[in-house]
A and B are shown apart, each in its own frame.
Chain A
Amino acid sequence: MAEIKLETVRKTYGKTIATRDVSLTIHDREFMVLLGPSGCGKTTLLRGIAGLDQIDSGRIFIGDHDVTDLPPRQRRIAMVFQSYAVFPHLTVYENVAFGLRMQRIADVDVKKRVRSAAELLHITDLLERYPAQVSGGQRQRVAVARAIAVQAEVLLMDEPLSNLDALLRLEMRAELKRLLKEVNSTVVYVTHDQVEALSLGDRIAVMKDGAILQCDTPLKVYDYPATQFVGSFIGNPPMNFLTGQVKVDGSSTTISAGGGTFKPSPLIQSALRDSASILLGIRAENIEASATAVGGALSGSVLVVEPLGSHNLLTVKVGAEYVKVNAHADVVFQPDQTIWLKLAADKIRWIDRQSGVAVA
């Protein structure tokens, strides 16, 4: 059992607050991704869990133990560093064996566990080499093998893929996913890459300015962003936002946005006040573009057409605002052409304009 529980964890560096009383529970064997732009406090949080930095206030629990005041070696964690932090003076074998040797495990068992970790990461051929004699991608594998060899209950990863080139990163991402299914550890994974977060995480905690904005499954975070920031940070292209206004007329509530009128779901109607300013959030793939007028669709003019192979990415001007639309690759649109955009009603997300928080 290695549930990680953070209770109002605060860490300050001088006058800047790196994490603002963050509370988060990471379930046993869960793959939790901490996602956010640089400086959002995600690495601070990870280092707090690892025990590399003392937190200023709050408590951290791993399993049933309060580890807040324990040094890293007593927390039963393993960590993969962004820089890999592979020991250059030891062979790959000794690197992977390092944690086991510290536990005074018998040579025979060390050998066995190094072998199996090396096999998992396909570095068996490199065991006798020094880190300087292997490539960056291989060094990364060494770092991961070293972390999993100790079979810690908690595996912490600090942007492990960010130093790899794009192709290698893609390959390693899939491999990590396969691998981490096998090791049965609770994983906390820090990244600023939203694709990585979506593809790897059981849950994603989106962070900004030292606080967690939303923590949910990738699909939930993607489809139902809790704030405007989450919607625009996750997804490529980012979620579209159109400004609109609420109109409450007796029992009927309508919202006008982008030149169209929308009926919000009855569930949120009670939360809407008359003439409130609101944002309509919709993802590019939930908009259907057509060259002919369609009922209930917004009209706009095509600004840019970017063919991306699988689809064409359109930038459409709707009123004074811009909307990104995914259009079928075989439908040809021309710049300056007037088109109609039909928004999938169930995919629309309403966000309070002032607070940036979704209306729920």
Chain B
Amino acid sequence: MKSAALRRYLRRAFTYLLAIVVALWVLAPIYLLGVAAFSEQNAIYTFPKQFVASPFSTDTIAFFLRSTGVSKAITNSVIVALLTLFFTMLIGTPAGYAIARFLFRGRDAFRLLIVSTRAFPIVILSIPLAVSFIEWDLYDSVYSLALMHTALALPFTILTTSSVFASVPRDLEEAATTLGCNQFEAFLRVALPLALPGLAAAMLFTFVLSWNEVFAAVILTVRNRTLPALVLTVLDVSPTPYKFAGGFVMLAPSLVFMFFIRKYLFNLWGRVTK
């Protein structure tokens, strides 16, 4: 009996140890990035490296934010990411729902088509698109870039949302229709709230994808650069503190977004983890 308990204890400890290692692996670089971003600019060149930001200073961040084009690039990035999020969910949610719920002619072909768009590298999509955008006079605009990001995010989003909706039992919507809902109300009042955690995950993915996407952004914009595109193009000519601050500023919104959406990721209805 005692040895069994011990073994269970050890196994538990091992699991926790593993979890801690994984967490450190992810968090340590982020932490160091944060430390560098909130130290004085010179602190980056000191050795040994410091593990707390002392003295604490927003100097580095301020320097980065004041640099030419940065504030505009941040605005652009936010606009592109939000637009991408909006378009992706607007198209992806009904598309995923349709695949999950309705048997229509060509459903499997449709599904395959969606996945196959991922088979084209961004390069192949971006360059002809840049040409088309120039022709249509849409080039170098955050809106056209948002369209590009939407195209990039949609396959994954549709597959995610369709599996999310497939996991919502059909009975529940049928029950709603017997209780006075039409199809759309049943979707709105039952399927959608139940799918929200999964949709939140898809939204998170979409936002982060757009925020971090650099290749299409570099090709499709010139003056209206998004943050990653700007940072990438000026990277080799910028000082080290700029890079750290830039890294942190690019990372922070994803973290914040994740923090807000976390509730929906972990909130399995009725079993809210406290």
Stretch from B34-42, B81-89, B148-156, B169-177 at the A interface: B169-177
Complex CA–CA separation, A150 to B180 (angstroms): 10
Name the residue of chain B whose CB is nearest to the CB of A83: B171
Chain B contacts with A in 223-271, Cβ cutoff 8 A:
269-271
CB atoms of B169 and A133 under 8 A apart: no
CB atoms of B193 and A132 under 8 A apart: no
Contacts beyond the supplied A52-B178, A71-B183, A72-B177: 15 A-B pairs with Cβ under 8 Å: A50-B178, A52-B177, A71-B182, A72-B174, A72-B178, A78-B178, A78-B179, A88-B172, A88-B194, A89-B193, A99-B180, A102-B179, A103-B180, A133-B270, A150-B180
Of the residues B172, B177, B180, B271, contact of A87 by C-beta under 8 Å: B172
CB atoms of A85 and B270 under 8 A apart: no
Complex CA–CA separation, A129 to B270 (angstroms): 8
Complex CA–CA separation, A99 to B175 (angstroms): 10
**Set of chain B residues within 8 Å of A77, measured between Cβ atoms:** 178
Complex CA–CA separation, A129 to B172 (angstroms): 18
Chain B contacts with A in 192-231, Cβ cutoff 8 A:
193-194
Name the residue of chain A whose CB is nearest to the CB of B175: A85
- A224 in contact (CB, < 8 A): no
Complex CA–CA separation, A89 to B171 (angstroms): 14
**Set of chain B residues within 8 Å of A129, measured between Cβ atoms:** 270
> What is the predominant secondary structure among interface residues of chain B facing chain A?
helix
Complex CA–CA separation, A147 to B183 (angstroms): 19
Interface size, chain B (Cβ < 8 Å): 20
Of the residues A81, A88, A89, contact of B174 by C-beta under 8 Å: A81
CB atoms of A99 and B269 under 8 A apart: no
Name the residue of chain B whose CB is nearest to the CB of A132: B270
Name the residue of chain A whose CB is nearest to the CB of B171: A85
Of the residues B178, B182, B185, B269, contact of A88 by C-beta under 8 Å: B269
CB atoms of B180 and A83 under 8 A apart: no
Q: Taking A52-B174, A83-B169, A85-B169 as contacts, is the C-beta distance between A73 and B269 under 8 angstroms?
A: no
Ordered by A's residue number, 13 sampled pairs between the chains whose C-beta atoms are within 8 Å are A51-B177, A51-B178, A73-B178, A73-B180, A78-B178, A81-B175, A85-B172, A87-B172, A89-B194, A102-B181, A129-B270, A132-B271, A133-B270
CB atoms of A98 and B179 under 8 A apart: yes
CB atoms of A79 and B193 under 8 A apart: no
- A130 in contact (CB, < 8 A): yes
**Set of chain B residues within 8 Å of A98, measured between Cβ atoms:** 176, 179
CB atoms of B269 and A132 under 8 A apart: yes
- A41 in contact (CB, < 8 A): no
Q: How far is the CB of A264 from chain B (nearest CB, A)?
A: 49
Q: How far is the CB of A72 from chain B (nearest CB, A)?
A: 5
**Set of chain A residues within 8 Å of B194, measured between Cβ atoms:** 87-89
**Set of chain A residues within 8 Å of B172, measured between Cβ atoms:** 85, 87-88
Name the residue of chain B whose CB is nearest to the CB of A47: B174
- A131 in contact (CB, < 8 A): yes
A62-82 to B contact mask, C-beta < 8 Å, 1/0: 000000000111000111010
**Set of chain A residues within 8 Å of B33, measured between Cβ atoms:** none
**Set of chain A residues within 8 Å of B171, measured between Cβ atoms:** 81, 83, 85
**Set of chain A residues within 8 Å of B174, measured between Cβ atoms:** 52, 72, 79, 81, 85
A251-262 to B contact mask, C-beta < 8 Å, 1/0: 000000000000
**Set of chain A residues within 8 Å of B190, measured between Cβ atoms:** 87, 89
- A146 in contact (CB, < 8 A): yes
Complex CA–CA separation, A72 to B273 (angstroms): 37
Q: How far is the CB of A110 from chain B (nearest CB, A)?
A: 13
Chain A contacts with B in 145-203, Cβ cutoff 8 A:
146, 150, 156
